[in-house]
Structure 1
């Protein structure tokens, strides 16, 4: 029997995993690229960099697995949500790829809120109106780049760009379409009201297809670049969030998954659309019998990377050591601007400082729960659920002379998870409390960090043996499309658990006191965030 491939295109890297039908990984590959921040509030990528990374990750995986092109039965595709780019009639990019982290359309969002359109659009589409939403990005382009807006033949995501290069078609799965803010919550068609507001027709969007749609007849040059056969079937797949649920054993109704990679999310499947009266959560169609409900947080591993690169790399070690700003972000001159580049570049470290993220997390664990009264609001790129506030900003509160690097590191880890707890608590109000949380994403490779999640969430956390869950979910959807598995729920029972964490009661008691303070800090500072955000916008 051949192998099924899970291709996962993320915010800072593309990963390729090759799976046997029983879920065993035969080989993998990974290639990174930069997240460009030309100015505060913007977050872009070069689509050609991602295409190159896809080919490189495939070549690595094929080599590591020691397989031939004919050994691949199918490829399933997972991509990050909310990306958007404009292309011309030949499919050539007219813009960079705008990512989920881009907040440039905050003014458009405010007008939608003031007019009451935001609330109505949420009810129609299940997508909270936020600068992450392609709907808001389209409004920004229409108002700020009218010439480009009129010239664009299509507005597409990175998945659609990839599939067009591979097969010459514009197709978007219902899962990814549901996250655009342009699809009816039923998942059956684009929303007329949203399209009219955005100023576009259906012809400028892709054809909506099921997540199990199979594409054949791959571009021979692209196939050769990836080391694949042109005859290899590709399954369109779904969004990385939905696939993370499937790949972590949460395809069944009511099972709750927590994924933390660059960003984070809490999600579960429901048998019908569930719209939060307060608009705090999303509700995305997946297929004719499932909707994905939950909420994303903007700042997951990206907060830890930021802290490490800007404050620790090259700094002296020790919990009480001087932790003043030491490093400078890599900068590149491009089109007359300075572009801050986040990952995956290498920087030097002091020999006695933390050289890996595991070492950094280990250092953080040397101080008590609650970081001796140091609290971090992790809103470095604004925040989505439950506040949907693009103006929110990162804050360290309670700092004293007794706090050293380890305290700040622990506060960052805790701040990310306290934000996740805000989503789990909101989802609990809407759909009931979870019996356990299934952890996936990069953070799941750290036993210390997943254990900390159990303490903060106050519920058992299980780590599946497929913690790269989005890639495995993509492979499982490919298996379903080709008849290798009967149902996605069937896979839940075959996903093993490599470790479990019960809450540490002493730590849990600390976080029960800390969480209300964490929330109160946000609400007290919320009126000031727009002023701070306005001071960070240039030109």
Structure 2
């Protein structure tokens, strides 16, 4: 029997799944790691924590499954994106990685805006200028860490670092390249104009590979650390959203899904190039495909903040979210009438405001903890509706939505979501997220299917449909109007707070 590995490096957790033919899960493991917040709006991670977690997870799935490592034919790695990780010629990190939540490069944003212009950047990259992307943060390194950048050989993405540790090859897949805001999406190459604008040399950028393209085999050093075989091929991999979208059938025809975890992302699939200013462009798995997406910074991240700051944190039993859901169902049975703005790390789509902040509006002396937690769920659902409204504005019909990812395990959250967006929510039978999509890429590479999309079509089955709660629809319509006006009213106050 042939086996493959799908490894996803998320914002908080590495997930590693060993697949047998089918593809079917043979064994899985996951491990959390730390996010560093040295200053407000600075968000970074130690890349060696990713690698240590990957090594541990691979060893766990090998031990659980008793599979001979030589039977693992291929590995694909997906990850959070975008990020900026400068490494030297030996692949050694020169600094912690600045991950997608980081917002330190606001000065660089203004410089690039002046030098290049927002329209030109959108024309070249399919995305509006924002500190979310690699471009501004690469310039931050060049302006603030010049001695470090003199030693820099390559700037890697998250999965690019893991792929280097596995193979010794510097690489970037084309989906990650499309999120750097340095890649010309029309000519399919690095933009010399944008590199020159930030003072970067073309040599800093790794070679671009297709998602399903091999970059090498597992090296002897990696094999010794992980227990893998040097005969195993490593593919270029993909952005987590591209992989998760593939699992959910989002690759053509305007199909829509939401990948919900630490962040939440609305995914809309097309088999052609499509761009929109209020949404983000991400290259799909196919050669000419697109995933338009509305990325929200802190969906599950907002609830995790409440859990850790005000709910006592995680327990040894790992049952904190089950207890949160139960408390809401018992103590906050109806719409909360509290507005929560889920901007705990600024916000991306559709407001694109790095200065926005998390806010509760409407607390009173009778407010209980469960109502505050429900309001967090409601606020993230309002943010989802805000992004779906952007899709409607550009003519994308929304009939229903497939929901996948960690937060889709909460029944109460799903009911709130369906009621806010006034649409059915469908849950897939297989809900592995990005590793599930990677399994389709691997299966196609091993010859089980003609393409990853064929694998997705064969495997996608709907397990359950969640309907809106009729009694909640009208209150949520009214609360959504207040939600939108609340941000507009507080926008300047957020900017003032940042300057204090």
The aligned residue for residue 390 of structure 1 is: 354
The aligned residue for residue 118 of structure 2 is: 118
Question: In structure 2, how many angstroms separate the alpha carbons of the residues matched to 1:388 and 1:75?
Answer: 35
The aligned residue for residue 517 of structure 1 is: 482
In the TM superposition, what whole-angstrom CA distance separates every residue of 1:68-112 from its partner, at most 9, and x where no partner exists? Answer: 212322111111111111111222111111111111112222344
In the TM superposition, what whole-angstrom CA distance separates every residue of 1:100-144 from its partner, at most 9, and x where no partner exists? Answer: 111111222234446662332122101232222110101111222
In the TM superposition, what whole-angstrom CA distance separates every residue of 1:396-429 from its partner, at most 9, and x where no partner exists? Answer: 0011111110110100111112112111111222
TM-score, scaled relative to structure 2: 0.95
Matched, 1:222 2:222: yes
Q: 1:331-480 counterparts in 2 under 5 A?
A: 356-366=320-330, 367-371=332-336, 373-480=337-444
Q: CA deviation at 1:451?
A: 2.5
Partner-residue secondary structure (3-state), 2:139 = helix
Q: Relative to structure 1, is the Cα distance of residues 409 and 266 closer, same or farther in structure 2, using a 3 angstrom cutoff?
A: same
Q: CA deviation at 1:192?
A: 2.2
Partner-residue secondary structure (3-state), 1:103 = coil
Q: CA deviation at 1:442?
A: 0.6
Pairs aligned (count): 497
Matched, 1:109 2:109: yes
Q: 1:284-295 counterparts in 2 under 5 A?
A: 284-286=282-284, 287-295=286-294
Whether contact under 8 Å (1:262, 1:300) holds in the other structure is yes
* Residue segments in structure 1 that go unaligned for 5+ positions in a row: 315-345
The aligned residue for residue 273 of structure 1 is: 273
Q: CA deviation at 1:208?
A: 0.6
Q: Relative to structure 1, is the Cα distance of residues 365 and 164 closer, same or farther in structure 2, using a 3 angstrom cutoff?
A: same
Question: In structure 2, how many angstroms separate the alpha carbons of the residues matched to 1:243 and 1:87?
Answer: 26
Tell me whether 251-260 or 400-409 shows the greater mean CA deviation.
251-260
Name the structure, 1 or 2, with higher relative contact order (CA <8 Å, separation 6+): 1
In the TM superposition, what whole-angstrom CA distance separates every residue of 1:255-311 from its partner, at most 9, and x where no partner exists? Answer: 1110111111001121322222xx211112234220111110001111111001101
Q: Relative to structure 1, is the Cα distance of residues 66 and 495 closer, same or farther in structure 2, using a 3 angstrom cutoff?
A: farther
Of the three residues 467, 481, 486, the one matched with 1:502 is 467
* Residue segments in structure 2 that go unaligned for 5+ positions in a row: none
Matched, 1:481 2:457: no
Tell me whether 174-183 or 428-437 shows the greater mean CA deviation.
428-437
In the TM superposition, what whole-angstrom CA distance separates every residue of 1:186-226 from its partner, at most 9, and x where no partner exists? Answer: 36111222111122222111001111111333112212322
Q: Relative to structure 1, is the Cα distance of residues 187 and 472 closer, same or farther in structure 2, using a 3 angstrom cutoff?
A: farther
The aligned residue for residue 310 of structure 1 is: 309
Question: In structure 2, how many angstroms separate the alpha carbons of the residues matched to 1:34 and 1:187?
Answer: 38
Question: In structure 2, how many angstroms separate the alpha carbons of the residues matched to 1:369 and 1:280?
Answer: 32
Whether contact under 8 Å (2:41, 2:102) holds in the other structure is yes
Partner-residue secondary structure (3-state), 1:526 = helix
Question: In structure 1, how many angstroms separate the alpha carbons of the residues matched to 2:289 and 2:177?
Answer: 15
Question: In structure 2, how many angstroms separate the alpha carbons of the residues matched to 1:40 and 1:290?
Answer: 37
Partner-residue secondary structure (3-state), 2:89 = coil
Whether contact under 8 Å (1:29, 1:64) holds in the other structure is no
Question: In structure 1, how many angstroms separate the alpha carbons of the residues matched to 2:401 and 2:226?
Answer: 36
User: What's the C-alpha RMSD, in Å, of the aligned pairs?
Assistant: 1.9
Q: Relative to structure 1, is the Cα distance of residues 21 and 448 closer, same or farther in structure 2, using a 3 angstrom cutoff?
A: farther
TM-score, scaled relative to structure 1: 0.88
Whether contact under 8 Å (2:154, 2:170) holds in the other structure is no
